[in-house]
A and B are shown apart, each in its own frame.
Chain A
Amino acid sequence: MIKNTDLYGGIFMILVSLLFYSGVDKLNEYSRLFPQAIIVLLIASGLGLIIKSIKKPTIATLFSIDDKKSFILVAVITLAWVLLFKHIGFVVTSMASLTGLLFALSDVKNSKGFIKSFIIAGVLIASLYLLFSKVLYVPFPRGVFF
């Protein structure tokens, strides 16, 4: 898609400043001193971008990705991974997600490819899990199964 990036950039900045502005009321004098100044600057920069979008706009082609499907798969699987990690536990979510990622990107999309993905995922997760939890003492969340 081809868009006027300055315009969207400016709108984004203004929206963010409004979001933060709504959180300023309850703050005491010193906690709000700096944020208020930054909010003003952010609005100013947003307006600046909007003005630029009218006078000397930057039009660019966005999201020109060749393989949209792989891209979206990777994004969605990883998003599910990070959101479910706490609830279902580290090992299960990671095995599922990593296998999914490897399989989604592989060029051999049949059961042999799947087994290969699963094994690679297993090896990676096992070795890194051991490294992190036993050597580096990082306690991973334990979920429903593990």
Chain B
Amino acid sequence: MSTFVDAFISILDIKLMFFMLTGTIGGMVAGALPGFSATMAVALMVPFTFTMSPVAGLATLGAIYTGAIFGGCFSAILVNTPGTPSSIATTFDGYPMTKQGRGEEALITATFASWGGGVVGVLTLMFLSIPLAKVALKFGPPEYFWVSIFGLTIIASLASKSIMKGIAGGIFGLMVSMIGVAPIGGDVRFTMGISTFQGGVEILSVLIGFFCIPEMLRIAGELKNEKFVAVDLEKQTDVLKKSFLNNFQKPMNFIKSSVIGSFIGVLPGAGGNIANLVAYNEAQRSSDDPDSFGKGNPAGVVATESSNNATVGSSMVPLLTLGIPGSPAAAVLYGALMIQGLKPGPQLFTTNADVSYGFMMALMVAQFMILVLGLLAGKHVYNGVTKIPDRILVPAVILLTVLGSYAIRNNVMDVIVMFVSGLIAYTLKEFGFHPGPIVLGLILGPIAEKGFVQGYLMGQASGAPLMIFFTRPISIVLIIITILSASWPLFRMYRENRKKGVVNK
């Protein structure tokens, strides 16, 4: 315990705090801008950290990462565009809340959720690193495959009206994710003559296109009927209280989501993008009123924002304990550590303990920074954005989507993909296909394929290619969870029908 106290004191440095504050704000802005990802924001700041002490440099980068993952909720809630993939599911309930005039409540709820989830994530990093890292290592290709299959069962909760269309959409997403270089085999697939597709379909472009464009088009088409939603100018303290209670009055949702985020963050290759969807699914499944999800239930926002910020701290676990980055942003931090001359790994806890503990304390401080910043900014950002008339907002947001999708990897094709997928998403929505399952397929496709083919290769080496998927202990646990998750909606329908049956009698 004394190490933590020492570490905390070591970071009480005005300059360091200042850097962290700037980093957090910068991260929030980067996260809120669709397309500009948390990883890019962190990578951008790396050169600036060379001249700082290792702790200061890492603390600043960590603050940026925290800010960015939090910042994603702003655009998700206000304009239905996930600022980062970690906020995809925040759009499901956050944006409806804005449409109902409760956007400020959504933002403040997200702030409390992000703060709380972030704290849980850093606590995980501080106290559970070693055991968790060991468990994470045991996740090999077959386990990753089952994790992605489990992820796909979430489709049921996202499909709202038609499960068949949801499933088809998910498979469609899986299919599109195959475009590009095959992870095993190395062949370039399905580029359809467009050589930019060698790099695959850029998921961030599609995210922006799928969530933002259809909404912008819809607003454009309904401008004449601008209905003025009576915004109850609630007292500031009322919104604060309501948002706080949204998170903590019935804490199960918050606790479960933070734990889900902490655990998923530890797995290398899986991060906030998956955590938020899994947490959302779980929150809906265990809620008393599942049908209210997707229509402005703050519990949805709590689930997604607490889980995604929990991944910030926990994705550092494999980095600090084993020297293996748990997320792309952690990979950048890995590079930064290397350049500072620090070898990531167990040494960081022994010879360089002051650095690693200092970093952890700084990360904790960063969570409190986003709490303060979020509470302060929430009201003003909300008022600022909602005061902009739609006829200006729509073009401005479209400008942001063009800039943002270009900024992902400085590739013009990404902008075209963004808009074209927006048009496709609009049409598919009209035909009843919700974007959620498609995006889920896109994200999980590469993980599922890698897990499957690598596992197949492993299995081939031992003679029975497919048996390997069913004979490992963690895989078996995952299979059971997947089956439970997949059959839950059927179970629920059965329960409802029985209730209806009783009433009718």
Give yes or no for direct A-B contact (beta carbon below 8 Å): yes
Least CB distance, B490 to chain A, in whole angstroms: 16
B224: Cβ under 8 A from any A Cβ: yes
Known pairs A6-B164, A63-B430, A138-B410 / 12 extra A-B pairs, C-beta < 8 Å: A3-B431, A5-B430, A9-B165, A27-B189, A34-B449, A41-B174, A42-B171, A62-B431, A70-B220, A70-B221, A101-B394, A138-B403
Q: Is the interface of B mostly helix, strand, loop or mixed?
A: helix
B432 adjacent to A28 (CB under 8 Å): no
B185 adjacent to A31 (CB under 8 Å): yes
A13 to B395 Cα, complex, angstroms = 32
Contact with A along B474-501 (1 / 0, CB 8 A): 0000000000000000000000000000
Q: Which residues of B contact A67 (CB under 8 A)?
A: 220-224
B395 adjacent to A58 (CB under 8 Å): no
A26 to B188 Cα, complex, angstroms = 10
CB proximity to B under 8 Å, residues A88-145: 94, 98, 101-102, 105-107, 120-121, 124-125, 128, 132, 136-141
Q: Is the interface of A mostly helix, strand, loop or mixed?
A: helix
A9 adjacent to B431 (CB under 8 Å): yes
B416 adjacent to A82 (CB under 8 Å): yes
Q: Which residues of A contact B164 (CB under 8 A)?
A: 6, 45, 48-49, 52
Chain B residue with Cβ nearest A141: B412
B399 adjacent to A85 (CB under 8 Å): no
CB proximity to A under 8 Å, residues B87-113: none
Q: Given A28-B187, A66-B224, A70-B223: A81 and B402 within 8 A (CB)?
A: yes
A33 adjacent to B223 (CB under 8 Å): no
- Which of A68, A78, A101, A120 is the most central at the interface, judged by chain B CB atoms within 10 Å of its CB? A78
Least CB distance, A88 to chain B, in whole angstroms: 12
Q: Which residues of B contact A105 (CB under 8 A)?
A: 220, 223, 390-392, 394-395
B44: Cβ under 8 A from any A Cβ: yes
A82 to B13 Cα, complex, angstroms = 47
Q: Could you list 12 A-B pairs, sorted by A, with CB under 8 Å?
A: A5-B431, A30-B453, A46-B168, A49-B165, A70-B220, A75-B217, A82-B420, A85-B402, A85-B412, A132-B407, A140-B406, A141-B412
B175 adjacent to A20 (CB under 8 Å): yes
Partner of A9, one of B189, B216, B415, B433: B433
A140 to B190 Cα, complex, angstroms = 28
B178 adjacent to A35 (CB under 8 Å): yes
A132 to B36 Cα, complex, angstroms = 10
Q: Given A31-B189, A105-B223: A137 and B172 within 8 A (CB)?
A: no
Q: Which residues of A contact B171 (CB under 8 A)?
A: 13, 38, 41-42, 45
Q: Which residues of B contact A71 (CB under 8 A)?
A: 217, 220-221
B502: Cβ under 8 A from any A Cβ: no
Least CB distance, A36 to chain B, in whole angstroms: 10
Q: Which residues of B contact A75 (CB under 8 A)?
A: 217, 423
Least CB distance, A140 to chain B, in whole angstroms: 7
A107 to B392 Cα, complex, angstroms = 11
Q: Which residues of B contact A128 (CB under 8 A)?
A: 399-400, 403
Q: Which residues of B contact A16 (CB under 8 A)?
A: 172, 175
A75 to B162 Cα, complex, angstroms = 28
A38 to B452 Cα, complex, angstroms = 12
Partner of B391, one of A6, A23, A107: A107
A57 to B476 Cα, complex, angstroms = 38
Q: Given A31-B185, A35-B178, A70-B220: A58 and B162 within 8 A (CB)?
A: yes
Q: Which residues of A contact B402 (CB under 8 A)?
A: 78, 81-82, 85, 94
B432 adjacent to A38 (CB under 8 Å): no
Q: Which residues of A contact B167 (CB under 8 A)?
A: 45
